[in-house]
Structures are given as structure tokens and as C-alpha cells.
A and B are shown apart, each in its own frame.
Chain A
């Protein structure tokens, strides 16, 4: 799997290269600033890009802006944004083109190697990987999730884990139930959110979007 890395701190960049290389990824380019990132994304069209949100020259949300720009030019280009902080606003912007293949994780998550690599693969496969912190922030907004009012508490829990990028298999393991039970929950969620039967990955993205927009 070909990957482009954008991270301005050499320590973390080298760490990411080592981490992804040892897990079977081919790092085609590792850059340390926004303009070079855009060029690398358009040139290599990688299977997935792992991008730090804060990059030179502006040292603001340069990474996110470049990623969105690249996805405008190459629709569906899988991008995983890493950040010291999560913002609902940025999660929204990443998901707003509804084409999936986006991830938004705290940098801390790199410490949990297995799960991080899983997240990168999920994003590369067109899924979503929202940080647990994004989901936790959403849970504090009780009372304003009208579109999700029809969901049972359990279904919301499943939807939250879906947003984190977990597969049905992983959700089943997390909630200590059978995968079949989770399958039932997910089809019920899709039905209640009015998502017509289509490719499962796409419906998952739309369900996550509904969740974030609630």
C-alpha cells in the first residue's frame, strides 16, 4: 500500500515512516510542508496520505486545507489527518464531500500501534476513522440529535464505534456480542436514517455523517 506522509517535526516524521514501513506500507514520499504535500499528493496519487494538520508555512490548519484541496482535485483521495487537538468543525469539513476515505485522529493514537495501523487501512479502503474524542464530544451534546432520536441507545453506541472506523467484527469484539447481532444493529441504523441499500462502506460513511451532523 503506497502512502504519503506529511509531518514537519523530524522526530515524528521518522517515527511514522518506521511505523508504517514495518507494517507493510510503502512510504513513497515524506514531506514537511503544505505546498510540497499538495505536489506529492497530485504526483503519486497514493493509496492513503497521513497528514499533520499543522504544517509550514502558515503553521495553522495548512495540512487540512491542502488535504481538502487535493480531494477536490482527486475525488475520494484517502486522507488521514493527525492533530494534537480534535475539532468538530474539521471533522465536518473532512466528511462534507460525502465520499468517505477520511480519518481524523489525535496524534496520541499513534502510540496504540495496532489500532492506528487499522485506522490507516480503514481510511485507505474508503471508510472513516474519527477519533474517539470527536465521538465523546458529540455525546456531551445530549438533546440536540433529532435525526438520531429514533435510534436506541445501543444503536447509537454502535454508530459511535462505526464512526471511529471499527468494522462490525471489531465492534462485536468491543461490545462483547456476536458479529451477527452487530449486523442487525447496523441494518436497523441504516433503515432508521433512511439510507437506501447500497455498498456497505458508503452507507457507513453517510451514517457517520448523519451522526456528526446531529
Chain B
């Protein structure tokens, strides 16, 4: 009776233990796929992992040791449970049962912890060793901003071509036509009328060309640099603009142009949307970058995702690693801060490695 009773207890306890072990494995299971999935994803993004990449090799090594190592440790812990179970005790006591039960629980807990820790460590290793390096991120950013710059330039050229075609070119054709007719005309009144028309066409052609050139590179920017050009733009703004410009030299022409157009766009936004009574432009060069701030006391609520104006500024600046920060709470004031890393009065742009 006694032996039968013990045999039943043993079987029952073994079943319970198997259940606990299975539970432990089940609990550990959700952690396992994460590093594997992440590694797969990262490798997928890298697309062509360089076989010589030390980081990948290091990850493979760490993974090769850590994966089986963890399984080994957990396996041996589970067999410890089996060993404890098989210990022969001629005089089973309550204390001994409690001690064994506790140690089995402790080992189970330890297994779970080991599994968990191992999963976290692998997770971290995959992130560090297979994740995007700062250089890779920089390359991705530069690729994107270069593509945007090329697109913008192509769009600009198309616009210029279209403007010339529909504007000055068409006017010159009309002019030539009128003058051609005038040459052959025998009626003085008609000749006069044709010449008059040609005269007006010439004026309009000049007007068109002037507008076009202003959009390409405003002459005042070439003449007076950023300081003078912003001054000139402020003079045309319907809202009074306070200027506070301190620029010890001239940046490179493309940078100058990008900043000028950004400032002009910001000022025309102020005029069109802000309902402001005053605006301000601040320009500083705190060492390695130009900081341009355009603000107004208007109604606020400017949002770079809403209008194309702010997006355009952002695109212009991003080609030079520049950034746009918009603070515009409802009720105002609005402030646009544009930062662009650059050198002054020298033909070199210092590309900061900071995140753009």
C-alpha cells in the first residue's frame, strides 16, 4: 500500500513538473522570435551584407555561441530537476519535500530568467551589430536630399522653359509678325497701328523676362548679398519687418540663394496668412552655421504639413543639410527657424556630420 501510494505520488509530481517545465518553455517562447525576426529584417534592409563586414561576423559568432549556450544551460537546469526528482529518500519528511519543491521551483524560475536574459542580450546584439550605422543613416539621408534637390532643379528648369515659351518667346514672335506686316503695309494708319502693337509686345516681353530672372536669381542678391536682399524683400512686405542681421561674411552663392528664397517665402507667408501687425527677421552666424529666424505676431497655427510653402522651404534647405523648425501655437506668435551649416566668405561648405 505504502509503495503503491509512493508510486502514485511520484507519477503525479512528475506530471506536475513536466507541466511546469513546459509552461516555462511556453513563457520563454514569445521572446525568442524577436531577435530572429529583427535580424532577418535588418539583413533584408541591408540587402547586400558585405561578407567582410566585421560586425556581421561578430554577430554570427555571438549568435552561434549564445543560442546553443542558452539551450544547453536551460537543458541542464531541466535535467537537474530530473536528478532532484530521482534522489532516493528512505525517510521522506515534510521538510525534505518542501526543500525539494522549493529548489525545483527555483530552478524553473532560473530557467525562465536565463531564457529571458539570453533573448534580451541577443536582441541587443542584433540591434547593435546588424542595425543601421550612423554612416549608413547619413548616406540614406544624403541620398534622399540629393534626389529632392535634383527633382527641384529639374522642376525649376521645366518652369523656366515653359515661362519663356509662353512669355517672352511668344511676345517676340508677335512682335516680329507685326513688324513684318508693317514692312509690307502701304496704309500709314495701319503701319502705325502695327508698330504700336509691336512696341507694346516688346514692353511685355521685357516684363516677362524681368519676372523670370528675378525668380532665378534676384539681381539684388548678386549685388548686395544676403543682407541686402533680405532688406529689399522686407521693404516689399506689407507687414512692417524689423531686421536684425549680423553676418560677418558672405556664404557660398547657392547657400545664399537658398536662404534668400526661404526668407522671401517665409515673409510672403507672413503677408498672406498671418494677419500679423509686425514681423521680424533675425540672422546670425554662431560659428559654423547660419541661423535665420522669421517671426510674426499673427494668429499662429502654421503647419508644415498643411501648405506647400513651408515644405518648399524645407526642401530648399535640406539640399544643404539645413533644417526648418516651426513654432506656431494657435494665437501666435509664429517663428520659423532655419539653420544651415556653412562657411562664410570661402568657397567651401563644411558638411556637418550631425543629423540633419
CB–CB B223/A60 < 8 A? yes
Total cross-chain contacts (CB, 8 A): 49
A72-95 CB mask vs B (1 if < 8 Å, else 0) is 000000000000110111101000
CB–CB B238/A144 < 8 A? yes
Minimal Cβ-Cβ distance residue in A for B204:
A108
B126-143 CB mask vs A (1 if < 8 Å, else 0) is 000000000000000000
Of A122-130, A135-143, A194-202, the segment with at least 4 beta carbons within 8 Å of chain B is A135-143
Contacts of A144 in B (CB 8 A): 238-240
Contact A84 to B210, CB < 8 A, known contacts A61-B223, A89-B231: yes
Contacts of B214 in A (CB 8 A): 85
Contact A141 to B237, CB < 8 A, known contacts A89-B228, A89-B232, A111-B202: yes
Contacts of B224 in A (CB 8 A): 60-61, 89
CB–CB A140/B236 < 8 A? yes
Q: Give A89 Cβ to nearest chain B Cβ, in Å.
A: 4
Contacts of A61 in B (CB 8 A): 223-224
Q: Give A12 Cβ to nearest chain B Cβ, in Å.
A: 13
Instruction: Tell me if B235 is interfacial: C-beta within 8 Å of chain A.
Output: yes
Q: Give B210 Cβ to nearest chain A Cβ, in Å.
A: 6
Contacts of A108 in B (CB 8 A): 203, 206-207
CB–CB B203/A88 < 8 A? no
Minimal Cβ-Cβ distance residue in A for B220:
A87
Q: Give B37 Cβ to nearest chain A Cβ, in Å.
A: 60
Q: Give A139 Cβ to nearest chain B Cβ, in Å.
A: 10
Instruction: Tell me if B82 is interfacial: C-beta within 8 Å of chain A.
Output: no
A141 to B213, CA, bound (A): 23
Instruction: Summarize B's interface: helix, strand, loop or mixed.
Output: helix
Interface size on A, as a range, is 20 to 34
Minimal Cβ-Cβ distance residue in A for B222:
A60
6 chain-A/chain-B pairs, Cβ below 8 angstroms: A85-B213, A87-B232, A89-B232, A106-B210, A141-B237, A141-B238
CB–CB A142/B220 < 8 A? no
Contacts A60-B223, A141-B236 known; 16 new A-B pairs at CB < 8 A: A84-B213, A85-B219, A87-B219, A87-B232, A88-B235, A88-B236, A89-B220, A89-B224, A89-B232, A90-B220, A108-B207, A111-B203, A140-B238, A142-B238, A144-B238, A144-B239
CB–CB B219/A111 < 8 A? no
Instruction: Tell me if B199 is interfacial: C-beta within 8 Å of chain A.
Output: yes
A88 to B233, CA, bound (A): 9
Q: Could you tell me which residues of chain B, from 178 to 206, have a CB within 8 Å of some CB in chain A?
A: 199, 202-203, 206
Contacts of A106 in B (CB 8 A): 206, 210
Minimal Cβ-Cβ distance residue in A for B278:
A144
Contact A111 to B232, CB < 8 A, known contacts A84-B219, A143-B238: no
CB–CB A111/B238 < 8 A? no
Q: Which of B199, B202, B222, B235 has the most CB of A within 10 A?
A: B235
A89 to B241, CA, bound (A): 14
